[in-house]
Amino acid sequence: MTTAKPITLAIDIGGTGIKLMLLDDVGKPISERHRVPTPHPPTPDNVIETLDDLKKTIGKFDRVSIGFPGVIKDGVVFTAANLNPAWIGFPFASTIRKRWKKPVRMANDAAVQGFAAIRGKGVELVLTLGTGLGSALYTDGRLCPGLELGHHPWRKDLTYEDYLGKAGYEKHGKKKWNKYLARAIEQTTRTFNWDHLYIGGGNAKHITLDPDPKITLVSNEDGLLGGAALWNNGEK
């Protein structure tokens, strides 16, 4: 059972790092952010072992939210392109629920980050630039689950992630990477007709685009801060 003002343990799993933070019932941090490198190989067993160790460094909590880099349905992992094939079909949410004896909700990591950033009006798109390219789409604050724009074919039989993920940045360099990002943003306006775009992730710090009132750069910490909203918005 959760308390009247439950404390959420927010977990953000990435291709290069795993982060945890405690949040109050409205999503404000009540602990320091804890971060460790993602284990290699990043299999379910290794990641769960890492989470068990991190859990020992944090205080008491009532519930858990997990942001995961892939498609999530009913707490089960459907894709994990930047982790390990062993994740496919893995019931991550129920495994943590049984292991820690706490209620768990999880969603794509970009979706969780978006919950901390969106305004809840109109069509809003979130892109996260990290090891891969995460994406989440909302209409009037409600998540449209399952979007994986990063793996959609884009140019020359390559995907958005091929150009805009970490490997793409390292291959093309900052200037050319930003040109591809600008083209990708233009394409998303035609595809989704969004009213506002939010861009986050570890590589957002490399962005050199001209300011646009319809585009907001968001803190990478939002990947954790959205953890309470994952519960408050009723997502599973």
The pLDDT of residue 145 is 84
- Residue 56 tokens, joined: 């020992």
CB 44 within 8 A of CB 57: no
The pLDDT of residue 95 is 98
- What rounded mean pLDDT belongs to the chain? 92
pLDDT exceeds cutoff 70 at 234: no
According to DSSP, residue 195 is labeled S
- Residue 3: pLDDT band with limits 50, 70, 90: low
3-state helix, strand, coil in the chain (%, to 5): 35, 25, 40
pLDDT exceeds cutoff 50 at 72: yes
The pLDDT of residue 235 is 47
The third-level CATH classification (topology) of the domain covering 8-112+224-232 is: Nucleotidyltransferase; domain 5 (3.30.420)
The third-level CATH classification (topology) of the domain covering 118-220 is: Nucleotidyltransferase; domain 5 (3.30.420)
Q: Which of the residue ranges 5-14, 137-146, 213-222, 226-235 would you say has the lowest mean pLDDT?
A: 226-235
Residue type, 12: D
Report the C-alpha gap between 9 and 227 in whole angstroms: 8
Report the C-alpha gap between 132 and 112 in whole angstroms: 16
Q: pLDDT tens across 97-132, in order? A: 999 999 999 999 999 999 989 999 999 999 999 889
The pLDDT of residue 142 is 92
Task: Indicate the pTM of the whole model.
Answer: 0.87
The pLDDT of residue 155 is 92
pLDDT exceeds cutoff 70 at 143: yes
- Do 8-112+224-232 and 118-220 show the same overall fold? yes
Question: C-alpha distances in angstroms, 234 versus 65, 76, 115?
Answer: 12, 17, 11
The pLDDT of residue 213 is 95
Domain positions in the chain: 8-112+224-232, 118-220
Q: pLDDT tens across 32-59, in order? A: 999 999 999 999 999 999 999 999 999 9
CB 55 within 8 A of CB 128: no
pLDDT exceeds cutoff 60 at 2: no
The pLDDT of residue 1 is 45
